[in-house]
Structure 1
Amino acid sequence: MYSLDFRQFERTLRTQEKTLGRFTFRPLSIPEDTPLLHSWVTRPYAIFWGLQGASAATVEQEYRRIADSCDVYLGLSEQGPVLLMEVYDPANGSIGSHYPVNEGDAGMHILVAPPTRRISGYTWQMFTLVMDFLFSSPEINRVVVEPDSRNHKIHALNRRAGFIIEKQISLPEKSALLSFCARSDYQQAMIKDKDKTDAVSFFQATL
């Protein structure tokens, strides 16, 4: 679908508190990854994924269906999987009827693995990992998302990354906020975020 070169992509991520290590991606493998997926998407924090109470067989069936129209990846730390990422062509889904799809648009879904311990800034680092991976492809000029209008946590991450809300739309499974982030929007958001982080770090160092 898109030329995302997972074999060549890697990032070393850091929060203000610590270095998180090296991160890469690999394609989802069904049925091998079914137990992992099932353990993530059925938890309460993943309620907007729509698979609460689903059996492992149902999750596997759903991801075989999703894989027909999406590229699905696992983000990996040096210790193991840390996130699930779906990339799709907006022209081929219901979202395509809500706006004029441009060449270079890529739809995206992200689910971060359930936390084993709290690390401040971790989810944001996972979000930037996905955005960096997407924009590593010269074919992708703009990322399109349609999060559930009730999912306030993802709205905050989207805003921080430079997404601009276009409008509220009705999809078969939810009321969603159609939002866009061009490559330049993300670049500017990351510069602004770095400036803010550097200012906080300086302030803390002078206390």
Structure 2
Amino acid sequence: MTVFTRVDDRLGEFALRTLDPDADAPLLHAWVTHPKAAFWLMQDADLARVADEYRRIAAHPHHDAHLGLWRGTPAFLAERYDPAHVDLVGLHDATQGDVGMHFLCAPTDTPVHGFTRAVITTVLDWIFADPAVRRVVVEPDVRNTAVHALNAAVGFTVVRPIRKPEKDALLSICTREQFRTATRGDVPA
């Protein structure tokens, strides 16, 4: 079921649909175990572990996952979560209206210029479409310099480094206004 659609001026239609943990597991397995997905921390996962992880997310009251489509073809993964209950408990002073986010672009041998930025813009448009959302919170690995630059380009500011059990991360936040200013897009108020 499609839950959000955005048309990028240059790259066309992006959409998000609810993830089906069982049907989508083979595709996700190929993505999360690919060498380009090292920061996803599932390099050694087998198909059963990937399906179990996304079943767990689907059942969680404060976490969900969506499959992203580009021109109708699966091309990225997006997760959103409540940072007061998932991933950042005790590491971030979550306030009303905070939403956590993860995204992963499918590996490709033929990269498209601007694709990853179009994906993160789509994911943030989707999250900010909910008027209750005030800020998006992320915690990328400190070594992931490419995503730090991308985050800055769409309006995130680094709050501070944090230590998570699985990684050292940069806690970063983007308000609706920061996103609107950075993208100059038509973002819901």
Give 1:109's aligned residue.
Answer: 102
Amino acid at match of 2:20: S
**1:90 equivalenced with 2:59 (yes/no):** no
Tell whether 2:47 aligns with 1:52. Answer: no
Figure out how many residues of one structure are paired with residues of the other and give that number: 183
The separation in 2 between residues aligned to 1:23 and 1:116, in whole angstroms, is 20
Instruction: Spell out, residue by residue over 1:119-176, the C-alpha distance to the aligned partner (whole angstroms, 9 max, x if none).
Output: 2111111111111111111121100000011111110111101111111011111111
> Which one-letter code corresponds to 1:139 in the other structure?
A
2:32 aligned with 1:38:
no
Matches within 5 A, 1:6-85: 6-7=2-3, 9-14=4-9, 19-67=10-58, 68=60, 69-85=62-78
Per the TM alignment, residue 6 of structure 1 is displaced from its structure 2 partner at its CA by: 4.8
> What TM-score do you get using the length of structure 1 for normalisation?
0.83
Higher helix share: 1
Structure ID, larger Rg: 1
The Cα offsets for residues 13-63 of structure 1, whole Å up to 9 and x where unpaired, read as: 13xxxx322121111002000100001000000001111121111111122
Distance 1:84 1:131 in 2: 13
Give distance in 2, aligned partners of 1:137 and 1:94: 21
What TM-score, normalized to structure 2? 0.91
Aligned partners of 2:111, 2:170: CA distance in 1, in Å? 28
Conserved 8 A contact 2:155-2:178: yes
Structure 2 residue aligned with 1:181: 174
RMSD of aligned alpha carbons: 1.7
User: 1:58 is aligned with what amino acid?
Assistant: R
Identity %: 44
**Residue equivalent to 2:116:** 123
1:158 aligns with 2:151: yes
In structure 2, runs of 5+ residues without a counterpart are: none
Superposition deviation, residue 79 in structure 1? 3.6
Cα deviation, 1:49-81, whole Å, max 9, x if unaligned, reads 111121111111122223324110011122411
After superposing on structure 2, the runs of 4+ consecutive aligned residues of structure 1 that deviate more than 3 Å are none
**Amino acid paired to 1:49:** W
- Equivalents in 2 of 1:94, 1:120: separation in Å? 31
